[in-house]
Amino acid sequence: MRHELTEQELSAGRKKGSSPKSRKKAEETRQRTILIKKAVDDAIRTLLTEEDGDKGKPYFVDFLSNFLLAAKRFPNSQAGLFMAERLVPKDTLTELDSADEKDALRDIAFQRYRLLEDFFREQRDVILDTNHQKKLIACCSRRAGKTDLASGAILYASLVPGSRIIYVNLTFTNAINQIWKNVIERSDKIEALINTSSKSEGMIEWANGSSLRIMGNPNNSEIEKLRGEAKVSLVVIDEFFHQKNMDYALNEVISPLMTDRADSTLLCIGTPPRLAKTYGERAWNEGGWKKYHWTMWDNPYIPDPTKYLEDYCRDRGISKDSPFVRREYFGEIGVYDTEALVFKGRKTHSGNIVEEVASGRFRITDIAIGVDYGWTDYNSVVAVAYDRDGRKSAVFSERKFNHASVSEIVRAISDAYKESTGLCKKAGIAARDHVKIYCDTNEESITAELVTRHNLPAFNCYKYDKAFALELLAEELRTGRMTIPEGGELDDEMSNVLYKRDKDTDAIIPEIDEEEGIHPDATMALLYASRKVFFDMGLDDRFKERKPRTSDFIVDES
């Protein structure tokens, strides 16, 4: 039990210790202790340093030898731990690592300083926001320095060791032409050592472990190749407003690649879209993105942008107020290229075609089903009911789907045929004589299976004179002699089917632009069916039916 001293006892102790006699005795005791300690220390020192007559060396040498031997043989003993602490103090390695890290950071900071010297303010703002903002969009005009910006952002990210970077353009060829040389030259300029590079594979690897993967996005199958990538620090999507399948590419493939790093950035760059309702325009108008906008007038490397534009417009006979100039050189979003739309002014229907046929309001003589096989894009099946004598037609069935097996494609075609058979009964005509299926020629084995295994009237489609067929289809839709379901797959797709423009003259070329517009899957299925429709109406006498090469098809009976 602890004894608590009383105040009386404490007072007595103070009085006892404070007397002259007590202080003298305490001093004498201290002096004797000092003398004894000195004598002991002298004796030990003498014993340690005097040579042993038998061994001819001082004791301490022998002791230390045995001590070091024990430390070496038994690292975890007290001797071993004692020597380890003396040889490598606890904080030595940490201090060395910290020094290396500080040197590396100084090197990165200096390289970034050298890199940013080449960029003007608007470009630097974007580059400096990488690794700080999750999603960035830069919408610019032509000649605004977008490609330089992309290469600058790539190099800026690559200077952090072990960074994984992805650059995406419309096609692989475009990607290489746009970014390869720029990245290589900037790497040389700031002395960012490249270990390996392959232009044909679109790969660059730097000495610090960072890497760049260059790729195109012509269809879903290409972007799918990114699955399995991990810890991506930067993704740059060039020509963002003209990219296809961005909803799928970003949400299903690219976003999961960036979840491992809190500082990862998605940087999207491009000029405004020629079309309405693109994913890029929706992203620009919604929240969650940091947005940047500038034109070639902000680019100090363009000596006289006003004179350049005046000369450009004069040489091509266009006005500075034209939609093309407003979109391409002033960077205005929402100024669309309506003149180049293939199916502008098309007519739609919202009624029930089956009821119209059953009531006699719409007389039909035949049905044509078009099929577009799209392994890398979408498969489409479209059915058109028509009156060959009255020159009237309407789409009553449309299907568009991807990632489908052969059996799923065959099932969709069979369902469209069954639907057509039901409509024929309403019209009082025999389906076997008046319903035919016209299929894309790039997968004749499936068409042959429709014939040999499912006993369906399937033929290879007629693909010649495509430009004329598109023009005729557009004319029939514009006049209302053919209609499509309002708000359906075709209606949505046709809002984004463009003719190409000549890059020098801006003249419209009668060829579908699949880089800036979309690949028209359902539209192509309708085109295959409409060739038969227009032939029966006497509008195109060049149509030919051709059965698939069933001799080349092997039936799987398993």
Per-residue model confidence as pLDDT tens digits over 191-207? 899 999 999 999 999 99
With a cut of 70, say whether residue 330 has pLDDT above it.
Answer: yes
In a domain, 382, yes or no: yes
Whether residue 390 sits in one domain with residue 278: no
Rounded (10°) angle between helices 181-189 and 146-158:
50
Tell me: pLDDT of 543 over 80: no
Taking the C-alpha atoms of residue 8 and residue 31, their distance in angstroms, rounded to an integer, is: 32
* 441 and 544 belong to one structural domain: yes
Separation between Cα atoms, residue 452 and residue 474, nearest integer Å? 35
Residue 99 lies in a domain: no
Q: Give the CATH number, domain containing residue 431.
A: 3.30.420.280
At 154 the three-state DSSP class reads helix
199 in Cβ contact with 180 (< 8 Å):
yes
CA 288 vs CA 121, 135, 375: distances in Å: 23, 7, 33
Same domain, 293 and 380: no
Residue 335 and residue 383 in contact, taking contact as beta carbons nearer than 8 Å: no
Q: Per-residue confidence at 53, pLDDT binned at 50, 70, 90? A: low
Which of 126-135, 174-183, 221-230 tops mean pLDDT? 174-183
Per DSSP, which regions of 426-518 are E strands? 435-439, 458-460, 482-485, 499-501, 508-512
User: 376 versus 219: which is more confidently predicted?
Assistant: 219
Lowest mean pLDDT among 86-100, 269-283, 375-389, 495-509: 86-100
Residue 239 lies in a domain: yes
Domain count along the chain: 2
Query: Which distant-in-sequence residues (6+ apart) come within 8 Å of 352 by Cβ?
Result: none
Tell me: do 283 and 418 sit in the same domain. Answer: no
CATH classification at residue 227: 3.40.50.300
Residues 370 and 225 in one domain: no
Residue at 91 is within a domain = no
3-state secondary structure of 123: helix
The span from the CA of 180 to the CA of 203, in Å, is 9
Residues 358 and 278 in one domain: no
What pTM does this model have? Answer: 0.66
Cα end-to-end distance, the chain, whole Å: 93
Quick check: is 9 in a domain?
A: no
Helix/strand/coil (H/E/C) assignment for every residue in 499-526: EEECCCCCCEEEEECCCCCCCCHHHHHH
Mean pLDDT of 336-347: 91
Q: Residues 194, 122: one domain?
A: yes
User: Does some domain include residue 65?
Assistant: no
Do 290 and 371 reside in the same domain of the chain? no
> Residue 239, Cβ neighbours under 10 Å: how many?
23
Report yes or no on 440 lying in a domain.
yes
250-264 confidence digits (pLDDT tens): 988 998 888 888 889
Domain match, 209 and 127 both: yes
- pLDDT at site 552: 42
In DSSP notation, 344-396 reads: TT--EE-S-HHHHHHHTSS--SEEEEEEE--SSS-EEEEEEEEETTTTEEEEE
pLDDT value at residue 52:
62
- Can you read off the two tokens belonging to residue 300? 């100090």
* pLDDT tens digit sequence for 229-249: 778 999 999 999 988 888 889
Higher pLDDT, 45 or 454: 454
Residue with tokens 């990862």: 264
Residues 132 and 260 occupy one common structural domain: yes
CB of 531 closer than 8 Å to CB of 461:
yes
pLDDT at residue 298 in the model: 96
Sign of the CA dihedral running 267, 272, 278, 281: positive
Residue 507 confidence class, pLDDT cut points 50, 70, 90: confident
Domain extent, residue 176, equals 108-300
The pLDDT mean for the chain works out to 85
Same domain, 474 and 547: yes
Per residue, the 3-state secondary structure of 228-285, as one string, reads CCCCEEEEEECCHHHCCCHHHHHHHHHHHHCCCCCCCEEEEEECCCCCCCCHHHHHHH
Residue 145 lies in a domain: yes
- 144-166 in b/e form (b: 16+ CB < 10 A) is bbbbbbbbbbbbbbbbbeebbbb
Please report how many Cα atoms fall inside a 13 Å half-sphere around the Cα of residue 268, on the Cβ side. 24
Q: What is the spatial distance between Cα 127 and Cα 506, in angstroms, rounded to a whole number? A: 33
Read off the amino acid at residue 467: A
Q: Identify whether residues 457 and 381 lie together within a single domain.
A: yes
Quick one: residue 531, left, alpha or beta (phi over 0 = left, psi -120 to 50 = alpha)?
alpha
